[in-house]
C-alpha cells in the first residue's frame, strides 16, 4: 500500500525540509513525498525532483489566494495550508497520509503507525505530554504550554484514506481557512488547538503514547534518550516503558529556544547532545542560500516594505476592504490598501492579544535574557546585604 508523507514550510526552511526528506527516504524509500509551500517557488530554481507534489499558496482552491495569504503571519500561513494538501492527498491517494513538520527527523521506520491505519484506526495523534510533571517550573513550562497551545502536537498526524479521514480533513481545512490564528487569549493557536476536538468529534481516533514518537523539548523531562549497541536510539519514559526513537522534533531550533529547553530538561538523556550535533551538521550540509536567503514572498508590500501585523488583522476582518483592495500588496495605484491603513488603521479597534505579542511568543527572547537577569538580581542582593 503506497505511503504518502508531506510537510509544510516556506523557502527559508528548505535545509530542514531537505533533512526531513532525507530521513524519510532512508526508512521509507518508496514513499511519495509532498510539500505544501507557504510561499512561491522561484521561477529560476528547478523544482526538487524528490517531490511528487509542490503546492504553493497561489494554487490553493480559494477565490483569491493572495488576499487570503495577506491575512496571515508566516507561521499561521504555513499551518493553515496543511489541511488543504492533506485533503487533496486523501481524495486521490490509495494509501495512508502522514504529515511531519519540516523540523522533524526520522530515526526509525514508522511501520507500527502505518499498520494501525490499515485496521480500525482512521486518525493518529500524539500528545505533547504522556506523563504528569511534578516540578513546579516544569508544570508551568510543559503542562501550562500544552494548555495554551494544544493537547496534541500537530507536527505529526497520520490519516487513513477512508470516510472518517476525509471528513476530518474537510473539517480541519474549513476551520483553518477562516480561523488559523496565533491568538492564545482567544483560545486559538494556529491549526493545533482545533485538533483538541478531534477525539470527541470523530470516531476511530488513536492517541499514540509510545515514548519514541514526537520527542521534543516539551517532553524531554519525562523521556530519556540513550544510544543502542546497533547505533540507533532508545527512548525510556518516566514509567519505565521504552521504544525506539521514531522521530525527534527540533522545534524552536533557529531562535535558540530548543537548546535552552534541552539544556534545562534533557540532562538525563546522555545521547541528546550527539543528536543535536548531528541535526545541526545535517542542516548545514543541506544549506541552500539561493532558497533560504530569499525573503518570504508574502512578507512585504510590492515596494519591499514590511507589512505590519495589525494591517494583516484589519484586512482579514473587513470584507469591504477585501472587495475594495483585492491585491492588498500592490502599492502602485493611488488608492491602495497600505495608504488606507496609514490613514485609518490607527483608529481601528483590535483585541489586545493582536496588538502586542503574548508572553509565550516572546519566550525565545526572554530565555536568552534570563541568565543576564539572574546575574543582575544576584548583584542587587549582594549590595543590599552589604548595606544592611
Compute the distance between CA of residue 359 and CA of residue 361 in angstroms, rounded to an integer: 5
Look at residue 18 and give its three-state secondary structure: helix
Instruction: Please write the tens of the pLDDT for every residue from 125-164.
Output: 999 999 999 999 999 999 999 999 999 999 999 999 999 9
DSSP labels for 219-273? Answer: TGGGEEEEE-TTS-EEEEETTS-EEE--EEE-TTTTTSHHHHHHHHH-TT-TTHH
Which phi and psi (to 5°) does residue 197 adopt?
Answer: -85, -15
Report the chain (388 residues): mean pLDDT per 10 consecutive residues.
95 96 97 98 90 97 97 98 98 94 98 92 98 92 94 98 97 97 94 98 98 97 95 95 98 94 94 97 93 91 96 95 97 98 82 38 38 46 51
Nearest alpha carbon to residue 105 among 10, 7, 208 = 7
Cell of 365: 527572547
Nearest alpha carbon to residue 329 among 320, 319, 341 = 341
Instruction: Please write the tens of the pLDDT for every residue from 201-259.
Output: 999 999 999 999 999 999 999 999 999 998 899 999 999 999 999 999 999 999 999 99
Ranges of each domain in the chain: 4-291, 300-355, 359-388
* Per-residue pLDDT, 380: 45
Does residue 20 contact residue 102 with C-beta atoms inside 8 Å? yes
Compute the distance between CA of residue 293 and CA of residue 287 in angstroms, rounded to an integer: 10
Neighbours of 36 (CB within 10 A): 28
* Per-residue pLDDT, 294: 85
Query: Please, what is the angle between helix 163-179 and helix 82-92, to 10°?
Result: 160
Looking at domain 4-291, its CATH class is alpha beta
Amino acid at each position: 500500500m503506497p505511503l504518502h508523507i508531506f510537510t509544510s514550510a516556506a523557502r527559508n526552511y528548505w535545509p530542514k525540509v531537505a533533512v526531513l526528506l532525507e530521513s524519510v527516504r532512508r526508512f521509507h524509500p518508496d514513499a511519495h513525498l509532498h510539500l505544501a509551500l507557504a510561499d512561491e517557488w522561484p521561477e529560476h530554481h528547478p523544482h526538487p525532483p524528490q517531490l511528487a507534489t509542490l503546492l504553493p499558496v497561489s494554487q490553493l482552491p480559494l477565490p483569491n489566494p493572495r488576499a487570503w495569504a495577506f491575512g496571515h503571519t508566516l507561521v499561521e500561513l504555513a499551518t493553515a495550508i496543511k489541511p488543504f494538501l492533506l485533503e487533496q492527498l486523501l481524495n486521490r491517494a490509495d494509501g495512508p497520509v502522514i504529515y511531519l513538520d519540516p523540523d522533524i527527523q526520522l530515526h526509525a521506520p514508522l511501520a507500527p503507525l502505518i499498520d494501525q491505519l490499515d485496521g480500525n484506526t482512521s486518525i493518529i495523534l500524539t500528545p505533547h505530554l504522556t506523563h504528569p510533571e511534578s516540578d513546579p517550573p516544569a508544570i508551568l513550562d510543559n503542562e501550562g504550554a500544552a494548555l495554551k497551545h494544544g493537547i496534541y502536537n500537530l507536527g505529526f498526524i497520520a490519516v487513513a484514506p477512508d470516510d472518517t479521514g476525509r471528513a476530518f480533513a474537510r473539517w480541519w481545512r474549513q476551520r483553518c481557512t477562516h480561523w488559523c490564528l496565533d491568538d492564545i487569549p482567544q483560545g486559538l493557536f494556529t491549526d493545533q488547538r482545533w485538533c483538541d476536538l478531534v477525539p470527541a468529534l470523530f470516531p476511530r481516533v488513536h492517541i499514540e503514547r509510545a515514548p519514541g514518537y514526537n520527542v521534543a523539548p516539551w517532553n524531554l523531562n519525562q523521556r530519556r534518550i540513550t544510544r543502542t549497541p546497533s547505533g540507533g536510539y532508545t527512548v525510556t519514559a518516566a514509567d519505565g516503558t521504552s521504544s525506539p526513537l521514531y522521530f525527534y522534533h527540533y522545534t524552536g531550533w533557529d531562535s535558540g529556544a530548543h537548546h535552552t529547553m534541552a539544556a534545562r530538561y534533557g540532562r538525563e538523556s546522555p545521547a541528546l547532545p550527539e543528536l543535536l550535533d548531528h541535526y545541526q551538521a545535517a542542516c548545514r550540509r543541506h544549506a541552500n542560500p539561493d532558497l533560504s536567503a530569499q525573503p518570504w514572498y508574502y512578507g512585504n508590500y510590492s515596494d519591499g516594505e514590511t507589512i505590519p501585523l495589525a494591517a494583516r488583522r484589519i484586512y482579514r476582518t473587513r470584507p469591504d476592504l477585501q472587495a475594495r483592495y483585492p491585491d492588498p500588496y500592490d502599492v502602485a495605484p493611488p488608492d491602495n490598501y497600505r495608504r488606507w491603513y496609514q490613514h485609518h488603521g490607527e483608529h481601528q479597534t483590535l483585541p489586545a492579544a493582536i496588538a502586542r505579542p503574548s508572553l509565550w511568543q516572546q519566550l525565545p527572547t526572554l530565555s536568552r535574557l534570563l541568565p543576564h537577569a539572574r546575574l543582575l538580581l544576584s548583584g542587587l542582593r549582594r549590595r543590599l546585604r552589604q548595606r544592611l
